[in-house]
Amino acid sequence: MSTGSPQNDRPTKGALDSFSHWANKHRKWVLAAPAMIFTALLIAFPLGWTLYLSLTDSSGSVRADSEFIGLENYGEVLTDFDRFWPAVGRTLYFTGGALAFEMALGMAIALLLWRPFRGEKWVRVAILLPLVATPVAVGMMWSLILDPNIGFANQALSWFGIPPQPWLAGQDTALTTLMFVDIWQWTPMVVLILLAGLTSLSDEPDEAARVDGASAWQRFWYVTFPLVMPVFITAILLRGIDALKTYDILYATKGKGGGSFHEVETLNVYAYGLSFDYNDYGMSSAVLIIFFMMIVGCIWLLTARKKRSNR
């Protein structure tokens, strides 16, 4: 036992005692088993099934006969420049754009909140509210604010003489607009994580740089930022995984299939549509497996980077 805790080897008396003895001896697995079994049944097994489905031509109903067709679905998906590759592009554009803004804004706001000030509590409350708001309701809320005809956004623009924008209704503007909705909702998460990281730093390196006459920017860029880097990468990881899988606000604002021109159809939306609108389970499973490997790849790259900056 790696904890080195003293073992209680009491003599066994009766069934209950011998069970207790057994449970304590194997407590590592006794305690972990329920969660592991749940995970295996509800996650590992379905994931394996999805992997199997991706190799068949299953469609219509999962109960219907399906044939094993090897990697055919993957071939079809990877040569689909009509829906699949644009969805990949949109997923990366949405995630990359949202992440870039969220990390930059999150860092800036965290630095503003770093040193204590009066009214800090209220600012923190304001930051927390978007974070806990139900994403579907947030989507609805922004659909009203950004409505091209009756929305407050265009009304506010008109005060500055700026012509009305189509926002969510525009084929070219919808995805970028949704990116900003995501930024509105999730920048607070990055702020909280980075703030926790900043607060755990010691003052000394910053003080030393200050004594050496470093400017505020130099102190941030050469002292604080490298120190907070591991937390920064953790924040990218946590936020990036969720951004890749964004679904709720896309569905709430544009409906099924990412709008009539699929203008906000990301991989997740595409896979959902293949599964539940077209019932093409083979294809959708192939898309999902590729999507999953994409996520794992991104995580692997980032953790490799994190290990380097920890050194």
Partner 1 sequence: MSSVVDKQPAVPDAARLPAAFKKRPKHPATRAYGLFRVLALVIIVLTFLAPLVWMVLSSLKTNVDIYDPTAAFVFSPTLQNYETVFGQASYLQYIFNSFWIGIWATVLSMILGVPAAYSMSRFVMKKSAAVVLMARIIPGVSLLVPWYFVFSNLGLVGGYSVLILSHMFVLLPLFVYIMMSFFDSLPLELEEQGQVDGLTPIGAFLRIALPLSVPGIATASILSFIFSWNNFMFALVLSGSSTKTLPVAIFDFVAYASIDWGGLMAAAVIITVPIMVIALFTQKYIVSGLTAGATKG
Q: Which of residues 166-225 bind partner 1 (CB under 8 A)?
A: 184, 188-189, 192-193, 195-197, 200, 207, 211-215, 218, 221-222
Give the closest residue to 298 by CA, choosing from 248, 246, 258, 243.
243
Radius of gyration, CA atoms only, the chain: 25
CA 188 – CA 207 distance, rounded (Å): 28
Within positions 51 to 80, which residues make up the interface with partner 1, using CB under 8 A? 53, 62-63
From 65-73, 74-82, 119-127, 166-174, span contacting partner 1 (CB under 8 A): 119-127
Rule CB under 8 A: is residue 302 a binding residue for partner 1? no
From 65-73, 76-84, 160-168, 266-274, span contacting partner 1 (CB under 8 A): 266-274
Q: How far is the CB of 103 from partner 1 (least distance, A)?
A: 14
Q: Which is nearer to partner 1, 175 or 249 (CB)?
A: 249
| Two tokens, residue 41 | 């049944």
Q: How far is the CB of 163 from partner 1 (least distance, A)?
A: 15
Q: Which strand (E) or helix (H) includes residue 107?
A: helix 84-114
Q: Which is nearer to partner 1, 84 or 272 (CB)?
A: 272
From 68-76, 78-86, 165-173, 227-235, span contacting partner 1 (CB under 8 A): 227-235
Q: Which is nearer to partner 1, 175 or 287 (CB)?
A: 287
Q: How far is the CB of 130 from partner 1 (least distance, A)?
A: 5
CA 219 – CA 310 distance, rounded (Å): 20
The single-letter code of the amino acid at 248 is: D
- What b/e string do you get for 91-119 counting C-beta neighbours within 10 Å, with b at 16 or more? beebbebbbebbbeebbebbbebeeeeee
Within positions 133 to 172, which residues make up the interface with partner 1, using CB under 8 A? 133-138, 140-142, 144-145, 150, 152, 155
Look at residue 179 and give its three-state secondary structure.
Answer: helix
Q: Which is nearer to partner 1, 239 or 263 (CB)?
A: 239
Rule CB under 8 A: is residue 304 a binding residue for partner 1? no
Specify the residue for token string 């969220």: 102
Rule CB under 8 A: is residue 19 a binding residue for partner 1? no
Q: Which is nearer to partner 1, 85 or 222 (CB)?
A: 222
Q: Please, is 5 exposed, middle or buried when counting C-beta atoms within 10 Å of its C-beta (0-12, 13-18, 19+)?
A: exposed
CA 295 – CA 147 distance, rounded (Å): 33
Look at residue 213 and give its three-state secondary structure.
Answer: coil
Q: How far is the CB of 85 from partner 1 (least distance, A)?
A: 18
Of 27, 60, 89, 303, the residue at the interface with partner 1 (CB under 8 A) is 27
Within positions 91 to 110, which residues make up the interface with partner 1, using CB under 8 A? 109
| Two tokens, residue 130 | 């978007």
Residues 6+ apart with CB under 8 A from 128: 188, 192
